[in-house]
Amino acid sequence: MAECECLSGCNFYQDKMPIDSAIGQMYKKKYCLDDSTECARHIVFKKFGKGTVPSNLYPSQMERAEKILAGKEPHA
């Protein structure tokens, strides 16, 4: 798969997770380089657009992303 279009500007890596850390590299490989369709952040981005992803939403928080998409939790 292609690199996620959001990677260079993703505030998760700018604010929450150093991309050069071991965990950061694991997240990057799984969610940004392999399959961004499994990234909770990317799913919210695709539905609501740029600047709408909560900064504290982790890529693995699919259950929370589903709540955001359903309107049960606000997006940024």
pLDDT for the residue numbered 48 = 95
- Residue 75 pLDDT: 82
pTM value is 0.86
Read off the pLDDT of residues 9-34 as tens digits, 9 standing for 90 and up: 888 877 777 777 888 889 889 999 98
Residue 1 banded pLDDT, cuts 50, 70, 90? low
pLDDT of 71 > 90? The answer is yes
Q: Are 33 and 3 in contact (CB under 8 A)?
A: yes
* Torsion angles phi and psi, residue 35, rounded to 5: -150, 95
Q: Domain limits of the chain?
A: 8-69
Question: 45 pLDDT exceeds 90?
Answer: yes
